[in-house]
A and B are shown apart, each in its own frame.
Chain A
């Protein structure tokens, strides 16, 4: 049967009849094309053939499917997109042949579609080398969601999976295999991973990182055959390298040895095919037949195929523009053609940042390479510059790809370097970092969608887009891989500020100030009570955001007990009961063990108290002992006993100093060069109880071996032969950051003076819940890095604040008293620890325990405790 059987001439639609566009393939590029030709305007009649049973989805994010398992979230077609009368999507139907004479396409369903314009968007197919056993059960490719489902099914009960191919997709596949719980092997013929994108140094670093994660990498290794049995399918892989042949036992094999354009149909139809495959197109994506276009990975443009989504999107845009012009009767080439694309990529492979920019292999004549490689942190950075050193040509980044955002646009636009190369690679070393403002308007910010800096700032100025979401909606920038979103955010802010528009940084609806501004206002006006503060400079009744912030500010400026007077109403439950709320409503208690030092008697006391109150105990990451499961009413009695044994509050509950970890230091350790425990105890006792914008952690290492991990702390100290090195702004947790070296070889009193200044400057100027790492970065300006700023303020005392900051710290140190001991002395404060106002009952039926290893854990409400009775209160 024939569909749309009628006569038209391309570009000259018969009156009342729209030209017919037939699209073969419905991948990411095809979907983008459909969105760009304005199908819903009704000027065209579009049919789309999709061999897959579902509309286009995000193939770039394929490996995430095993993580979230949500097919829906990967779909690319906007809701209702195919509900228009002008477009029809035919799922599970592929093209079988093309008749260019008749302008018809025959499908797998035996139907014949006629077209005025044909768009080939079949993409590419995995290349499967013809090794023996390649058709065995348990051998897969890695391209579609269906492939993933097959891999998942086979992985059930399997222990080992091998991926043939160590390119970008192969590593993605290895990630998928690994995330299914299998031991993954990667077999690569070349001498390095990702040979297309990485140089040997970067690839070696990547290999180390990947091997650390338990994935075995076999380089310069050829697959000889896949071993199979009739009953079980794949049982292994025979490979060979310089040492000869060997066998990798595996139940699952994924072949990812490159891709080939799916040009067979075009070949049979007599269209011109590139030397290495792909349908040859001109810059407007027209094939050798002007009625046939090819876009995406099936096309051979500028002499080669393009295996990334960004160039595919550019082709979609060129072809859509050209076809729209043709429907309006224009035959001439319209707009810019596709003349090649930036093949830079940035991705996270198995949790490792990997980026390749421009001329990564230094192919340009005279190109110079600047390489930096840190075997300890496994970070590799290489920048390729022109022979005069003025232009960045390319880069390879492994382990830390933060520099990608600034390097890629500079490389792509060919502008002269606005600073030193070091500043690009190491923005935190004190050199001037390069912000988006230094980029020319033509620099592509979003390379997936080819959106320039000028288009983004234009959307802010002309279209009133004032946040990332609006920019995404107006320009599509940031909607694909998302790696440019931080840069978009920063561009939006700087553009708004340049227009004189204030970006709202109000703390909450009660205060139109930032924490930093509040700190200064409260100090200058000498305000001491929340009720007074909200009356004079705020509005309403306060909330769970501003109240703890004000409490923290007041604790620095007007030190008083955490529960003194109005302070009590401001505290989060943790500060209010001086313990840490756990998921079943009980609390955990952490006594301070300065520097992690504890006597045998102390350990026994903690053990006895935990035993007597039935508390679960665990050693924390901060070298202390956490006791879990205390009911509200039990807290005072637990403290009474801890205080009697000489313990005090460890402030594990507060936005305050937690611990100062230490290694054992020169007292015992044969490598130690300074007394790290002694210093850690001194620092912990000095800064204990200091309330701050967020929690503070510290550590002291007695030698460069760094056993205390001081460089992951808000402030860390490492002993040297001559004294102490002070590091600041480190962080573990969600956003790990290595601390920066603020000053070296300090004597102890200078060290403490610098830390006093550093901490008080942080307490004064950081925003709510801003850790020192983020705060330090926020201090970066056009003139200096955050670290350089801190060095100026702390070491050079450029702001003249040094004495004031030290005096503030001295006041804190002088006014410190143990919050637990003080509470035990005060019957009014103790009254807060009643379970119920009207009953002596203390039991809560929802607090129950089940045995867990040698101790116990809270029972899960509604599973292990039926909660029906407690929730279904009828009012």
Chain B
């Protein structure tokens, strides 16, 4: 149900600094595990490529902020805000994530 925390996986199923996709209420969400136990979630849809590929990008830092570079055309998106570094008008949706006792939960806020 919308707005609820959805159990996705255990933290150990997620590889550090590598993304993975999950499916919540029909939405494809890209999850990234960074800096140990932090998990961040953005939409998996790359608006430039029009394909669900964001989870397969390389993550990194730019001036200290974590981003993912889409594997398609290498646009960089801030993992905390979803904003695109290369095009100010474009933004990925971001989703709240909770890690509790080694389990990862994601919520899709109600419309």
Contact of B57 among A510, A542, A544 (CB under 8 A): A544
Q: Does A583 contact B (CB under 8 A)?
A: yes
The answer for the CA separation of A543 and B68 in the assembled complex, in Å, is: 9
Name the residue in A548, A576, A584, A873 with the highest tally of chain B Cβ atoms < 10 Å from its Cβ: A873
A547-B58 CB under 8 A given contacts A540-B64, A837-B20: yes
Spot the interface stretch: A567-575, A726-734, A742-750: A567-575
Spot the interface stretch: A456-464, A608-616, A839-847: A839-847
Interface residues of B, CB < 8 Å — how many? 50
Q: Does B28 contact A (CB under 8 A)?
A: yes
Q: Does A581 contact B (CB under 8 A)?
A: yes
A859-873 with Cβ < 8 A to chain B: 861-862, 867, 869-871, 873
Residues of A within 8 A of B111 (CB): 874
* CB of A627 to closest CB in B, whole Å: 19
- A838–B6 CB distance below 8 A: yes
In the complex, the chain A residue whose C-beta lies closest to that of B111 is A874
Residues of A within 8 A of B26 (CB): 869
Binding site secondary structure of chain B: strand
Q: How large is the interface on A (under 10, 10 to 19, 20 to 34, 35 or more residues)?
A: 35 or more
Q: Does A765 contact B (CB under 8 A)?
A: no
Residues 23-40 of chain B: 1 if any A CB is under 8 Å from the residue's CB, otherwise 0? 110111001001000000
- B58–A836 CB distance below 8 A: no
* CB of A27 to closest CB in B, whole Å: 37
Residues of A within 8 A of B58 (CB): 543-544, 547-548, 569-573
* CB of B106 to closest CB in A, whole Å: 9
- A509–B109 CB distance below 8 A: no
Residues of B within 8 A of A576 (CB): 18, 56
Q: Does A782 contact B (CB under 8 A)?
A: no
| Total CB contacts across the A-B interface at under 8 A | 121
A525-579 with Cβ < 8 A to chain B: 540-544, 546-548, 568-574, 576-577
* CB of A863 to closest CB in B, whole Å: 10
- B8–A838 CB distance below 8 A: yes
Q: Does A875 contact B (CB under 8 A)?
A: yes
The answer for the CA separation of A832 and B21 in the assembled complex, in Å, is: 10
- A573–B60 CB distance below 8 A: no
Contact of A509 among B8, B63, B66, B72 (CB under 8 A): B63
Given A570-B58, A583-B72: 11 more A-B contacts, CB < 8 Å: A541-B60, A541-B61, A543-B67, A544-B58, A544-B60, A546-B60, A577-B56, A836-B28, A837-B8, A870-B45, A875-B95
Q: 26 A-B contacts, Cβ less than 8 Å apart? A: A509-B63, A540-B60, A541-B60, A543-B58, A543-B60, A568-B18, A569-B17, A569-B18, A569-B59, A573-B56, A573-B57, A573-B71, A576-B18, A581-B71, A583-B49, A585-B51, A831-B13, A834-B20, A836-B23, A837-B9, A837-B14, A837-B20, A838-B24, A844-B28, A871-B45, A871-B47
Instruction: Mark A residues whose CB is within 8 Å of B.
Output: 509-510, 540-544, 546-548, 568-574, 576-577, 581, 583-585, 632, 831-832, 834-839, 841, 844, 846, 861-862, 867, 869-871, 873-875
What 9 pairs across the A-B complex have the smallest Cβ distances?
A543-B60, A541-B61, A544-B69, A573-B71, A585-B51, A861-B50, A544-B58, A569-B17, A573-B56
